[in-house]
Amino acid sequence: MWDKVGDLVFARSVNRTEPAPRDLAPPVGPRNQRSAPPSPVLSRYRALATHCIVELNDPSPIGVKRMQRAVRLPALTKAAAHHGMERETMMTKNVLITGAGSGMGLATALHLAGSGYRVFAGVRGSEADLTAAADARGVELTTVRLDVQNAESVRAAVAEVMAAAGRIDVLVNNAGFGLLATVEDGTDEEMIRQFDVNVFGLLRVTREVLPHMRQAGSGVIINISSFLGRMGLPLLTHYNASKYAVEGITDSLRLEVAPFGIRVHSILAGLFGTNFVKKGLVANAQTTAEDSPYRELVSHFVPIVAAAINEGPAPQPIADAVKAIIENEDSDIAVMVGTEAETFVPLRRSMDDKEFEQHVITTFGLPHAKGQKAGGS
């Protein structure tokens, strides 16, 4: 099926003008330079930052108070972070994983448990698959009842972990699902649930865990995101939007909690062979109806996504990436895992908006805009 819409995603053939996906690299140039060019906006913020430093050196009572407020957190953080690193080298790390009952969450729970971590696997529904897999692997983990849509369930789960372990060193926000629907057809209930699980659920759990990490002076938060948090695809608008939100949360939260010795990362996952199509993908009835005005797009695109997931690789690389981020404090902010992520994310960075959109249209064989010819505008 993928061969019918182009070989970019799985690189089954390299007889094209594009480089093979794993050979892709953003070109060196202004878009990728580490130092930003001078601009009035940057100069203004740098001036403000310099002004703040001058105020901190003000020996007057007002200046001293400002200095105390400004330096209190970093000063405490440095000592706390050092203390936290010492503790981490001496103790087994405790990991809380949401959505650990299947797929990427299950693979991550098993892998970390087998690597010496104390794993608390959050599950909303049945834990049968998880416990059976743990028994088969010969690893020990603790299941915790956790529904990310329910604030009381989140509070109880975190309290349970704290009572059992005394601290939470790592939080893996994995719980999520995908809504397949057009914007025209998506109901309020579907839209709200998409964000309630993928975005607000992540925030609920993070909110509950952060005080404990802050007091400990250390912690790692890993948000399982998607390459679709960096690009769009049709029929997945709501899911795309939720993953874009996860990326925004990751970038902002890093800046909020870095002074407390807490790291925040995201994993931009590609498509893996999980039960996502069966358990994690919800389709709007009107979008998939025979009389839908989008039926041509649905009949073409949905089988592509389903085949990519059903025939995709096992999600072990996600588990490997989680472990690598935990153990390497210099990990990238966003880690690409999987063919789609490793292909499309660098490509998105290297092209302008119209070029990239055209590439997506060509790759997936999507219909062109009305009046637009194939291959360009």
Alpha carbon of 56 to those of 6, 61, 316: distances in Å?
Answer: 58, 11, 49
Residue 139 has phi, psi (to 5 degrees) of -120, 155
**Active-site residue flag, 117:** no
Task: Assess contact for 176 and 102: CB atoms under 8 A.
Answer: no
End-to-end CA distance of the chain: 27
Burial (CB count within 10 angstroms: exposed 0-12, middle 13-18, buried 19+), residue 28: exposed
Catalytic residue among 117, 239, 244, 294: 239
Cβ count within 10 A of residue 329: 12
* CB atoms inside a 10 Å sphere around CB 300: 17
CA distance linking residue 269 with residue 316, whole number of Å:
11
Name which of 327, 349, 302 is nearest 31 in CA terms. 349
> For residues 76, 80, 83 and 89, what is the CA-based torsion angle, rounded to 10 degrees?
-150
Tokens of 122: 């959050």
Q: Which of 231, 324, 266 is nearest to 9 (CA)?
A: 231
User: Which residues are known catalytic residues?
Assistant: 239
